[in-house]
Chain A
Amino acid sequence: MGLHHQVIVVGAGLSGLRAALAAQQDGLDVAILSRVHPVRSHSIAAQGGINASLANAEGGRDDNWEKHAFDTIKGSDYLADQDAVEIMTKEAPGIVYEMEHWGTPFSRTIDGRIAQRPFGGAAFPRTCYAADITGHALLHTMYEKSVKEEIKVYEEYLLLSIVKHDNACVGIVALNINNGEIIAMSADAVIIASGGYGRIYGNSTNALINTGSGMAAAYLSAGVPLKDLEFVQFHPTSLYGTNILITEGARGEGGYLFNNRHERFMKNYAAKAMELAPRDIVARSIQTEINEGRCYNNAYVLLDLRHLGRKKIMERLPGIRDICLHFAGLDPINKPIPIQPGQHYSMGGIDTNANGETSLAGLFAAGEAACVSVHGGNRLGGNSLLDTIVFGKLSGHFASGYVKAKKKNAADQALQAELAKVKAKVSRLENSAGKENPAKVRSELKTTMMEEAGVFRTKAKLEAGLAKIKELKERYKQIHLLSKIKKYNLDLVRNLELEGKLALAEVIVLGALKREESRGSHFRTDYPTRNDEHWLKHTLAHHTESGPRLDYKAVTITRFRPQARTY
C-alpha cells in the first residue's frame, strides 16, 4: 500500500520538528505532516522567552533547576506531576544551549552570555530571550536544522483520523488541502504535536489555525483520553480588539498596569509581586477591574511602558511596538496600550507520561497538544517553549525506541477501512442539504466559551455553556458547505475543524463543571478556594457516543508538598 514512514509526526511547530529530529537521529525514516509550512506554525508567535536556570543574569546567580522546579510547581497550583517537572527543569539548560549552538540568535548580556529577563511567577530572571521574538528565533533555528537534516515534510495536509489496529496505532488518514484528496499513511508510530485549540474561544491570542484538530483526532478517533482540559490559561495582556499578545516581557521589563483611576491596581491583588504575579492571578485581577467598572469602554485597562523610555522599548520590545503601531495605531513610547485578558494556552491536552506515551501503543504526543503534565493548573510564562522542545525530543526518542522494539503487523485493512469511513464522512459533509450556517455555529461557540467558561466560572454558567454546546453539536449535523471545490477548500477545512472544536469545548466545560474548587486558571466563584482533599487529581476525559466520560488520576508528588499559593 501507498505511503509509509516509520514515524509520522503531526505538526511542524517546535515540538513536532524537535520530535522528528530526534527520531531521525535514531536512524528512523521520519516524515512530518503539517497543516501549514513549518515556519507558519504557531510557535513563531511566542514572544517573551524560554526558561532555563542558566544563572546568567545579574541577581539570578543562585538559580538552579530545583528552584525552577519549585516555581513551576507552585505556579501550577500543585497540579503538575513533579517527576515530569524535574525532568523538564533539569533538561532546560542543555536544551537552551543546544538551540544556541544550532544558531538561535539570543539576546546577550554584557559578557556575551544568553540574556535572561524576569517573568511572572519566577523567583529569578530565568527567561532566555531573543528580544521579543523568541518563538520566531527558536522556530526558525529548528526549521533550519530540519532543512540541514533534510527532514521530509508533507505540507498543507490536515490530519483527520488516527488509525488503530490490534490496540496499537498503525497510521493516519489526512486531507491533502492542496488538491482535496484524502489519503491514508501507514506508520509504526505517530507523534501528535499539533499545538493548542485557542480558537475555540472568542478572544484568543492564538493563531487562526489553532483549532485543536490534532487533540480532537486523538480523542475522537484514537480514543485516548484528554487530561485537565478545563485548565485554560488566559493571558492578562492581549491587545484590546485583535487580542494579539503583548508579551509578559513587557511587564518583565518594568511595564505598569493602570485602571481608569490611574491606580496600579495590582497592589490590591499581589502586593509583593505586583505586575509580575503569575498569569492566572494577573488575568483575574484585570478581569475584576473590568467587571467592576474600573476600566475604559467597559472593556480594557492600560499597560504603560512610557517610563521605560524609547531606547529600552526599541531594544527589548521592538516587536511589541510594531504590533501597537500596525494594529492599534499607537506608539507605546508615548501612549499606554489598551489591554484585556485573552485565551492563551491550554494546560490540558492528550494524556501522556514524561516519555510522550499515550494510552494507545504507538501513539505519542508532545507540546501544547499534550499534557504531561508539567504545567498543572497554570503554566508559567516561558515554560511552554521549554516543554515543547524537551518533550518533543523525548517523545521522538521514545517513539523510535518503540518502533525498533516492535514487531511488524500488517495493518492494511484497518487503514483502508478507516480511509473509507473518513471519505464517507467528508462526502456526507460536502453533500449535506442542511440549512445551518457553519459560520454561525463557529461564532456562537466562541462567545459561549468566552462567557460561560472564561476567567470566572460558576455552576450556572457552565451548565448553560454545556447545554449550548450540545445544541451546537446538533446544529453542526445540519450545516451546509458554501463550496464543494476540491482544491484548497477553506470552507471544508474549517468545518472539519469545527467538529473537533465542539468536541473539545464539551470536554472543557464538563471538566470545569465537575471540578468544584478553584485552582490555577480554573476559578469557580462558587468554590473560590483550592480543595486538595478532593481535587488534587487530574481529570481524564474519554470519548463515548453520548459525550465525554470523566475519571480521575492521582498527581505525582515527589519533593514539594502543596502549600498555600501567595505572591
Chain B
Amino acid sequence: MVTFKIERFNPDVDKAPYFQTYEVAAGKEMSVLEALFYVVENLDGSLAFRYSCRGAVCGSCAMRINGKNRLACQTLLKKLKSPVITVSPLPHLPIVKDLIVDMDHFFKNYEKIKPYLVNNTSAPEKERRQSILERAKIDEMIACILCGACFSACTVAATDKKFIGPAALTKAYRFWADSRDNLGDERLALVAGEHGALRCHTLFNCAEACPKNIVPTYSIQQLKGGLVKCRFSKPAK
C-alpha cells in the first residue's frame, strides 16, 4: 500500500483546495498515472486529471509530484522511494478541477511568438536543403512536448504575468535557429521588450522541471544574445 495525498479542488463547490488521502494497492512497476486510475476506478470516481499517451510524449499529465513538476506517466512509484506521495496540480496556473489546470495562458504565450516556420522565398519543388549540422542545432528544442512543466516552475512567469515563459521562448529559438526560416530579426522582435527573453533571470527551474531534459535557458540565452547584437548592429534585411 502506498499513501497518496492528492490535492482536490472543484471551483464550483469548494472555497479552497484541500488534500485527500487514498491508499493505493501499488504494483511493482506502477506509475503515478496508473495509481490515479486506480483511485478513479476503485476509490473515488470524482477525481479528475488529464491523460493520453501514457508514454511521456503527449504532455497531458504534467503535475506536481512530491514537490517537483513531473509527468505522472513517466514517474514510477518505485523511483520516488517514498511511502507517501503528494500530488497536486501544476502550480501558478488556474485550477480547472483537481489536477487539471487551465493551459490557456500557456498557449496564448506560445501563439505570440509565431510558432511556425516562415520562409518567404518560393518553395522549391523538393525539400529545402539543410545540413546535418544545421539540423543538429534545433535537435534539443524540437523534443518539447508543450507540457507546461517548465512554465509552471518558472518563478518569473508566476510573478510577471506577461513574461512569455521558457517553453514559448524555446520554440522561438527553435524557429529562429532553423536554417530554413527567414523571419530573422523579426523573430527577435517578437521576444523583445520588458516581458520577453530578457526578463528571464536564469533561474534554471525550467531545466530542472523539464521531463524531456531540455534546457530552455540555453535557448533563451541565445535569444538574449541575438537581441543585444541586433540592438547594436544594423538589422540585416
Contacts and interface: CB of A to CB of B under 8 A. Distances in A.
Interface string B121-140: 00101111111101100110
A242 B143 CA distance: 22
Contacts of B92: none
Contacts of A39: 58-59, 145-146
Contact of A112 (B74, B76, B131, B139): B131
B10 A485 contact: yes
List of 7 A-B pairs having minimum Cβ-Cβ separation, nearest first: A482-B45, A103-B117, A483-B45, A112-B129, A491-B45, A144-B116, A483-B46
Interface in A487-514: 487-491
B48 A103 contact: no
Interface stretch (A130-138, A346-354, A372-380, A522-530): A130-138
Contacts of A209: 51-52
B58 A40 contact: yes
Contact of A488 (B100, B131, B181): B100
Contacts, number: 158
A264 to B, nearest CB: 28
A1 interface: no
Interface in A78-123: 97, 100-103, 105-114
Contacts of B76: 326-327, 329
Interface string B32-76: 000000001110111111111111111110000000000000101
Interface string A29-42: 00000001101111
Contacts of A105: 135, 138, 142, 178
B45 A481 contact: yes
B59 A97 contact: no
Interface in A40-93: 40-42, 44-45, 54
A491 B40 contact: yes
Contacts of A148: 114, 116
A107 B135 contact: yes
Interface size bracket, B side:
35 or more
A485 B59 contact: no
Nearest to A133: B143
Interface of A: 36-37, 39-42, 44-45, 54, 97, 100-103, 105-114, 130-131, 133, 136-137, 140-141, 144-145, 147-148, 178, 207-209, 241-242, 244-245, 319, 322-323, 326-327, 329, 439, 481-483, 485, 487-491
Nearest to B114: A148
B132 A108 contact: yes
A483 B143 CA distance: 37
B84 interface: no
Contact of B128 (A100, A130, A483): A100
Contacts of A136: 57, 142-143, 145
B59 A490 contact: no
B160 interface: no
B57 A487 contact: no
B53 A44 contact: yes
B111 interface: yes
Best-surrounded residue of B12, B40, B47, B52 (most CB of chain A within 10 A): B52
Nearest to B138: A105
Contacts of A112: 129-132, 134
Nearest to A495: B45
B57 A45 contact: yes
Nearest to A244: B55
A47 to B, nearest CB: 9
Contacts of A439: 41-42
B116 A178 contact: no
Contacts of A141: 116-117
A129 to B, nearest CB: 12
B123 A101 contact: yes
A97 B134 CA distance: 18
Given A39-B145, A100-B128, A137-B142, A487 B10 contact: yes
B56 A326 contact: yes
Contacts of A482: 40-41, 44-46
B45 A36 contact: no
Contacts of B41: 439, 482
B180 to A, nearest CB: 7
B115 interface: yes
Best-surrounded residue of A105, A147, A178 (most CB of chain B within 10 A): A105
A242 B96 CA distance: 29
A41 B60 CA distance: 10
Given A40-B59, A45-B55, A140-B142, A108 B130 contact: yes
B29 interface: yes
Nearest to A98: B123
Contact of A100 (B127, B138, B145, B175): B127
A234 to B, nearest CB: 18
B48 A488 contact: yes
A36 B59 CA distance: 11
Best-surrounded residue of B100, B114, B134 (most CB of chain A within 10 A): B100
B103 interface: yes
Nearest to A440: B41
B97 interface: yes
B217 to A, nearest CB: 20
